[in-house]
Amino acid sequence: MTKLYNYLVKSGDAMAVGLSAILFIIFALGIYLGSSSGGYNLNDLLEREDLTDVNCFNPGLIMAIVLTVLAVVLMILGIFTDLFKNFQSGSKTVLGFGVLVVAFLVLYFTSSHDTGGRYAAYWSNPEFHINESISKFISAGLYTVGALTLVSFLLILFFEVKSFFK
């Protein structure tokens, strides 16, 4: 296990960038080849009324779902491992995870349900199964990701500036 840890510390960033580049290429090729084989043009998607035959985004969505599940499982395993190895720092991790869950729940209950606009076809079509709770769940997820991205960016800036002046 120590060898794996040392290897990941040494070349984990390169592996992550390489994997994300490969997944991006697979996603982009899936969109390009899927749209041309499906007989539609990507530029015309916003004007189309019926989008039920558009499936060129499926490989990217499946990869995103698999990677999300994998990240959550690894995060939970890391939390429990850290909790058992060092209770004090592990309890801070559990507290941070709890703050994320509370923030998500607050955003879920304060999100609005919009049934009009460009996405009216999705709300009215029972095939997509989008109701008020799913709409609020999607909105809360997007707001949470946006907030975490902003906080991450600000923390990176803060620590880079702090390390520059040390």
- The answer to whether the Cα torsion of 81, 82, 85, 90 is positive or negative is negative
Is the pTM here over 0.75, yes or no? no
Helical H segments across 50-125, by residue range:
58-85, 87-110, 120-124
Domain boundaries, the chain: 1-85, 88-166
Q: d(Cα 25, Cα 23) in Å, to the nearest integer?
A: 5
DSSP one-letter code for 111: -
Tens-level pLDDT at each residue, the chain (166 residues): 577 667 777 887 888 888 888 888 888 887 777 776 666 677 776 677 776 677 777 777 888 899 889 988 988 887 788 778 887 777 777 888 889 999 999 999 998 776 666 666 666 667 767 777 888 888 899 999 999 999 999 999 999 998 888 7
Q: d(Cα 107, Cα 58) in Å, to the nearest integer?
A: 27
Residue with tokens 């607050």: 106
Predicted local confidence at residue 92, as pLDDT: 79
